[in-house]
Amino acid sequence: MSDAPRGGAEHRERAGGTGRAGGADEQRDLELIARWKAGDERAATELVERHSSALARFAVASGERNDVEELVQDTFVRAFGSIDGFRGESTFRTWLFTIERRLLLDRRRAEKRRRDRNELQEDDAATEYDALDSVVADETQARLEEAVKTLSPTQREVFSLRIAEGLSYKEIAEAVGTTEGAARVHYHNAMRAVKEFLG
Amino acid sequence: MNDCRNAEIRDQLPDLLHDRLSAGARAAVLVHVDSCAECRDELALLRGVHRALVMATPRIDTSRIVSALPKPGASVQLRSSRPSRSRWTDWRVAATITVVALGGMSVALLTRSSDSGQPLAVAPGPMPAPQAPVAGPPATGSASVPAVPTTTRGVGRETTLAQSTPSTPVASAADDAPTEIGMEGRLTGLNERQLRALLDDIQQLKAVPITEPEPVTLKVDTKTSPGSTGDMEIM
């Protein structure tokens, strides 16, 4: 993983009241954005390397199976094309998740329209959220895959952003367009559903 | 798998997984996890889900993504280029409006000049009600330009055309026509012999050479003669 879980002292700068760390990553993103705006193309390379894997994971966790790289690329192209719209009110990564989620929804709508036109079988359409199949290596992960499949789309988004990316409820709420409290409820409902499925 | 009753600690387990806790918070959570089987199980579950997601994610070619990105400052250039494009568009719109306006004024002037008595090639409009016959245009208008009256007969109406083509044999043919015909340009005053001669002249029009025709001047007069009903004269 090029952007493995961010740790160390730099993440502990933003402790705040909740005991969460972080802040240096966000500051670094802002510096790179400023450099890119000033004409430094290498800054874009670093930004892509810092966030592309997280975007790919979110896409997979959200059920995207095909063209994950294309989706990530579209997300970056859209983001850099409207970089002036990023005002630093959220982290750059959360902003990227927001863009990627919109693109995902657009894709799903387009896919649904295409399916409606082609009148595909129901079992084909049910594969929308089959994200983890074909990749889990052992029985435990296969069971996890089945458990995650039982979640609603919103629960999966919140669950993956919380577990795979370690986003706070506030960041998740910004990314998926809900409230912090609702994100917390979604997460705990998802966790309960997964535990119940696993017995 | 049961839930730990300490919701605050459970909420921080994902942050512990991603090492996003401050030193103090991290120490407190670790102390709790060491003594709580439910939290240890949940932490193991979180690790399993995280690992599954990582394994499911394909490797991303970042260089390809970078090459597809817009160039730095592209959005700024786009915004700065907008006004010039707008000015250019505005200029073209203004020029088009000017040309159209000038064209419209020219047509209006030409139409007005034709209304003031000067012949103009204008197609006749809807036919007004028949009126008493009126003499044709003054001799000064047609004297210098010999006219060849030609007659076409439509359904229930007789039309007289006066063509002014001075440089063509048509004009010379008109010179041979009876004077009263050329001056008046009407058929109502002609006797049978004159009409026959006129028809003969018209037949000679076949000899008109193939040249670029001169502008045809038509004078539309919708008045009818006393003896004809609904006839139209074009002079």
Q: How far apart are CA B58 and CA B222, in angstroms?
A: 88
pLDDT of residue B180: 46
A69, B61 Cβ separation under 8 angstroms:
yes
B7-17 and A153-163 are packed helices; what angle lies between their axes, rounded to 10 degrees? 70
| φ, ψ for residue B151, nearest 5 deg | -120, 130
Could you read off the pLDDT of B53-63 as tens digits, one per residue? 888 888 999 99
Residue from B184, B207, B187 nearest B196 by CA: B187
B231, B157 Cβ separation under 8 angstroms:
yes
Lowest mean pLDDT among A173-182, B170-179, B190-199: B170-179
Cβ distance A7 to B71 less than 8 Å, yes or no, reads no
Question: Does CATH place domain A22-131 in 1.10.1740.10?
Answer: yes
Q: Which CATH code fits A133-199?
A: 1.10.10.10
Q: What is the mean pLDDT of residues B104-130?
A: 61
B51: tokens are 């690992």
DSSP H or E run through A75 = helix A68-81
A154: tokens are 């919103």
B23-35 and B7-17 are packed helices; what angle lies between their axes, rounded to 10 degrees? 110
Contacts B75 to A, Cβ<8 Å: 81-84
Residue from B125, B90, B145, B140 nearest B221 by CA: B125
Residue entry with tokens 């030193």: B23
In 3-state terms chain A splits into helix, strand, coil percentages (rounded to 5) of 70, 0, 30
B128: tokens are 């007004």
Q: How far apart are CA A5 and CA A19, in angstroms?
A: 17
In 3-state terms chain B splits into helix, strand, coil percentages (rounded to 5) of 55, 10, 35
pLDDT of residue B166: 41
Quick count: other Cβ atoms within 10 Å of Cβ A27? 14
B66: tokens are 């970078």
Cβ distance A83 to B52 less than 8 Å, yes or no, reads no
Contacts B68 to A, Cβ<8 Å: 73, 76-77
From the centroid of its chain, how far is CA A108? 16
Cβ distance B65 to A8 less than 8 Å, yes or no, reads no
Quick count: other Cβ atoms within 10 Å of Cβ B211? 10
User: What percent of chain B has a predicted confidence (pLDDT) above 70?
Assistant: 46
A151, A190 Cβ separation under 8 angstroms:
yes
User: Residues in chain A with pLDDT < 70?
Assistant: 1-22, 119-138
Q: What is the mean pLDDT of residues B12-37?
A: 93
Contacts A185 to B, Cβ<8 Å: none
Quick count: other Cβ atoms within 10 Å of Cβ A37? 16
Domain map of chain A by residue range? 22-131, 133-199
Contacts A59 to B, Cβ<8 Å: 57
Task: Measure B95 CA to nearest chain A CA, in Å.
Answer: 35
pLDDT band at B12 (very low <50, low <70, confident <90, very high): very high
A80: tokens are 């850099």
Could you read off the pLDDT of B116-126 as tens digits, one per residue? 555 544 444 44
CB pairs < 8 Å spanning A and B? 163
Quick count: other Cβ atoms within 10 Å of Cβ A3? 16
